[in-house]
């Protein structure tokens, strides 16, 4: 497919960026689930790439960490070795973020100077760079919320940081697909395009609620399925006042919405597959729909088992990876039905 494509180098660049964003999301998930995200208490964009190298450096870094609420209220029994473990994951997460920035910026400048990207593609590339930079800012903004009074990051900021990464990947992947299949002829099916867009929006909202669940530690309660404990709707779902606050701030309410949205996403995929039989489609479009069906089924099962086993780190990370892959398959399907 890429062998004779005139945009081969640009496509490789974009797909490499997608791969690195995927890796960053995986490491970010591990960082969150191991509660490592507040271990680096300062933000040094350039010098921060150098980790502590000597024992004295480690002691000074640990001493800085001890000045903040997470150590004082939660990890006050931590040894230096335990601190090194959580520091490693946050350091790796930030290091990959810097690598992602370089991988996007340096080739972009080269492609711009050599006129390999012009016009619409140049504008799309600038949007990708802006999205990546904004995602990095959101990471700093998120961590900052856990360094003041409450030794935990805001679940709103966590959701913003996570969804920014997912959307940056989605848009980058979309641009790459538009180059890969630029000359591919495909049936125009407005009905499918419209409903896959609905599915895309539902998937994004579900990912946001997944971040809410993670940020509020809502996966550690009501670890039963399909019921929430002994009830279909647990009392905690509507325990807070005013009523609406339950569904953005309440542990029970947020978990309830995440459960319901999972069924909606699965239902939309099955709806699309059933409706697709009424239309003429090419192989790429069919492959996209089948891919969504397979991935959404796996992701749904991962969600159930993650809940039942109260979010062990390895399963929580796989579930987050599943969300990433699901969004990718939705973008692939949407691209296969795009206009023109």
Question: Any idea what DSSP says for residue 74?
Answer: I
Q: Which two tokens stand for residue 36?
A: 């490592």
pLDDT at position 45: 66
- Angle at CA of residue 261, ends 257 and 263, nearest 5°: 125
| Alpha carbons 340 and 336: distance in angstroms, whole number | 10
pLDDT at position 339: 82
Confidence of residue 1 (pLDDT cuts 50, 70, 90): low
**Do 193 and 175 fall into the same domain?**
no
Give start and end residues of each alpha helix (H) in 50-79.
55-65, 69
**Do 229 and 327 fall into the same domain?**
yes
Instruction: Give the rounded percent of residues in the chain with a pLDDT score beyond 70.
Output: 98
pLDDT at position 291: 96
Mean pLDDT value of segment 320-330: 96
> Could you tell me if residue 238 is inside a domain?
yes
Mean pLDDT value of segment 1-27: 90
**Do 176 and 224 fall into the same domain?**
no
Confidence of residue 104 (pLDDT cuts 50, 70, 90): very high
Of the residues 180, 207, 224, the one at which a domain ends: 180
pLDDT at position 103: 95
Asked whether residue 216 carries a pLDDT value surpassing 90, the answer given is yes
Q: Domain containing 51: what range?
A: 7-180
**Do 90 and 203 fall into the same domain?**
no
Compute the residue count for the chain: 340
Of the residues 145, 180, 215, the one at which a domain ends: 180
**Do 159 and 211 fall into the same domain?**
no
First to last CA, the chain: 19
Round the CA-based radius of gyration of the chain to a whole number and report it.
22
| Alpha carbons 45 and 308: distance in angstroms, whole number | 40
Q: Which two tokens stand for residue 314?
A: 């390895």
| Alpha carbons 206 and 13: distance in angstroms, whole number | 29
**Do 92 and 124 fall into the same domain?**
yes
**Do 172 and 292 fall into the same domain?**
no
| Alpha carbons 282 and 338: distance in angstroms, whole number | 13
pLDDT at position 47: 58
Asked whether residue 44 carries a pLDDT value surpassing 80, the answer given is no
**Do 116 and 144 fall into the same domain?**
yes
**Tens-place pLDDT, residues 140-174:** 888 888 887 777 788 999 999 999 999 999 999 99
Of the residues 119, 146, 180, the one at which a domain ends: 180
> Could you tell me if residue 66 is inside a domain?
yes
Other beta carbons within 10 Å of 180: 19
Angle subtended by helix axes 313-336 and 155-180, to nearest 10: 40
**Do 212 and 128 fall into the same domain?**
no
Instruction: Give the rounded percent of residues in the chain with a pLDDT score beyond 90.
Output: 78
> Could you tell me if residue 2 is inside a domain?
no
Mean pLDDT value of segment 180-206: 93
- pTM for the model: 0.93
Nearest to 158 by CA among 216, 244, 200: 216
pLDDT at position 147: 80
Q: With contact defined as beta carbons under 8 Å apart, do 207 and 326 qualify?
A: no
Number of domains in the chain: 2
Mean pLDDT value of segment 122-141: 92
Task: Compute the Cα dihedral for 301, 302, 307, 312 and give only its sign.
Answer: positive
**Do 35 and 59 fall into the same domain?**
yes
Strand partners, 231: 228
**Do 197 and 331 fall into the same domain?**
yes
> Could you tell me if residue 1 is inside a domain?
no
**Do 313 and 213 fall into the same domain?**
yes
């Amino acid at each position: 497919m890429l062998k004779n494509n005139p945009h081969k180098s640009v496509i490789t660049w974009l797909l490499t960026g997608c791969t690195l964003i995927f890796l960053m999301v995986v490491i970010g998930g591990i960082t969150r689930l191991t509660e490592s995200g507040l271990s680096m208490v300062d933000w040094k964009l350039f010098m921060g790439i150098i980790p502590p190298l000597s024992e004295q450096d480690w002691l000074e870094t640990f001493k800085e960490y001890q000045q903040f609420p997470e150590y004082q209220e939660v990890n006050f029994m931590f040894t230096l070795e335990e601190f090194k473990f959580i520091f490693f994951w946050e350091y790796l997460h930030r290091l990959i973020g810097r690598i992602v920035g370089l991988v996007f910026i340096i080739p972009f400048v080269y492609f711009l100077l050599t006129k390999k990207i012009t016009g619409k593609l140049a504008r799309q590339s600038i949007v990708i760079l802006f999205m990546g930079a904004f995602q990095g800012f959101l990471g700093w903004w998120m961590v900052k919320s856990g360094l003041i009074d409450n030794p935990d990051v805001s679940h709103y900021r966590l959701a913003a940081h996570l969804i920014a990464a997912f959307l940056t990947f989605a848009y980058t992947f979309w641009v790459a697909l538009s180059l890969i299949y630029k000359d591919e002829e495909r049936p125009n099916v407005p009905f499918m395009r419209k409903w896959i867009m609905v599915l895309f929006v539902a998937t994004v909202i579900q990912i946001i609620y997944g971040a809410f669940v993670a940020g509020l530690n809502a996966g550690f309660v009501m670890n039963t399925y399909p019921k929430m404990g002994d009830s279909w709707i647990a009392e905690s779902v509507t325990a807070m006042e005013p009523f609406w606050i339950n569904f953005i701030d309440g542990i029970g309410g947020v978990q309830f919405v995440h459960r319901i949205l999972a069924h909606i996403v699965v239902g939309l995929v099955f709806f699309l597959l059933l409706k697709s039989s009424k239309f003429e489609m090419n192989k790429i479009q069919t492959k996209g729909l089948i891919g969504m069906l397979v991935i959404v089924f796996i992701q749904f099962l991962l969600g159930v088992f993650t809940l039942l086993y109260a979010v062990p780190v390895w399963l929580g990370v796989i579930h987050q990876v599943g969300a990433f892959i699901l969004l990718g398959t939705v973008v692939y399907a949407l691209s296969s039905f795009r206009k023109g």
